[in-house]
Amino acid sequence: EPEVTQTPSHQVTQMGQEVILRCVPISNHLYFYWYRQILGQKVEFLVSFYNNEISEKSEIFDDQFSVERPDGSNFTLKIRSTKLEDSAMYFCASGGRSSRGTDTQYFGPGTRLTVL
Amino acid sequence: KQEVTQIPAALSVPEGENLVLNCSFTDSAIYNLQWFRQDPGKGLTSLLLIQSSQREQTSGRLNASLDKSSGRSTLYIAASQPGDSATYLCAPPPGAGGTSYGKLTFGQGTILTVHP
């Protein structure tokens, strides 16, 4: 069964450094998402991406964040200058073969980001 | 803005019991609602997607119901097993008003423990 994959599983970085989190969505999906979950808190939406552009983003997704689909398969989240409060589990999801992204979303296993 | 509440926050039961997990949401003009399972430190596994036109959706021992008018969904787990122990999350997208590309809003979840 197709699945969403994410690398690395755990990333440790120093405050102020740039990190890139990578995801390979399910191949025939059209909508891609990043969510994050700070330890002990709810899963929060960061950004959705459709037709090679951001379709929606949350207040969390400020200028320090960017997303890219550099080739036909990878979907990346870049944090330009990490802060301590960026420490969280970051989940990639894909779905939405139908219009408006209303199909089942499938989540990857997550990347745990630790900012020291 | 969609807000999600899940009750109870935690549930501990002996094996074999039938369970009811409740989810309420504030914006009832939704296309669908998705239920997920999250094991500790892991990603989200999609359990069921129930469309707004459906009242129920079943998968094995799981049955989800949706009452849009009251802003509620219920997940029934029949004959619970220790392997069902996990956090269960419900996630509706925003209501139909405005632009939405499937971003999900998550509740805090119900932490389920099933004892052998």
- Is B98's pLDDT higher than 50? no
The span from the CA of B48 to the CA of B76, in Å, is 11
Binning pLDDT at 50, 70 and 90, where does residue B41 land? confident
Per-residue pLDDT, averaged over B81-88, amounts to 97
Identify the pLDDT of residue A38.
Answer: 96
Per-residue pLDDT, averaged over B49-72, amounts to 90
- Is A14's pLDDT higher than 60? yes
User: Which of these, A6, A14, A12, lies nearest to A93 by C-alpha position?
Assistant: A6
Half-sphere exposure of B78 (CA within 13 A, CB side): 7
SS3 assignment, position B82: helix
The number of angstroms, rounded, from the C-alpha of B57 to the middle of its chain's C-alpha atoms is 12
Q: Which two tokens stand for residue B67?
A: 């009452």
Q: Tell me how close the Cα of A36 comes to any Cα of chain B, in angstroms.
A: 11
Identify the pLDDT of residue B32.
Answer: 84
- Is B97's pLDDT higher than 60? no
pLDDT, tens only, A63-103: 999 999 988 789 999 999 999 999 999 999 998 665 555 67
Burial of A70 (0-12, 13-18, 19+ CB in 10 A): exposed
pLDDT, tens only, B18-34: 999 999 999 877 878 89
The span from the CA of A3 to the CA of A26, in Å, is 6
Q: Tell me how close the Cα of A110 comes to any Cα of chain B, in angstroms.
A: 6
A101·B32 Cβ contact <8 A: no
> How many other β-carbons are positioned within 10 Å of the β-carbon of residue B72?
17
Q: Which of A55, A108, A110 sits opposite B101 (nearest CB)?
A: A55
A42·B43 Cβ contact <8 A: no
The span from the CA of A96 to the CA of A103, in Å, is 4
Whether the Cβ atoms of residue B94 and residue B30 lie closer than 8 Å to each other: yes
Q: Which two tokens stand for residue A111?
A: 């990347």
Residue that is written with structure tokens 């890219």 in the block: A68
A91·B89 Cβ contact <8 A: no
A107·B100 Cβ contact <8 A: no
Q: What is the largest CA-CA distance in chain B?
A: 47
Burial of A7 (0-12, 13-18, 19+ CB in 10 A): middle
Binning pLDDT at 50, 70 and 90, where does residue B52 land? confident
Stated length of chain B: 116
Radius of gyration of chain B (CA): 14
B102·A35 Cβ contact <8 A: no
Strand duo A111-115 + A10-13: pairing? parallel
DSSP state of A8: -
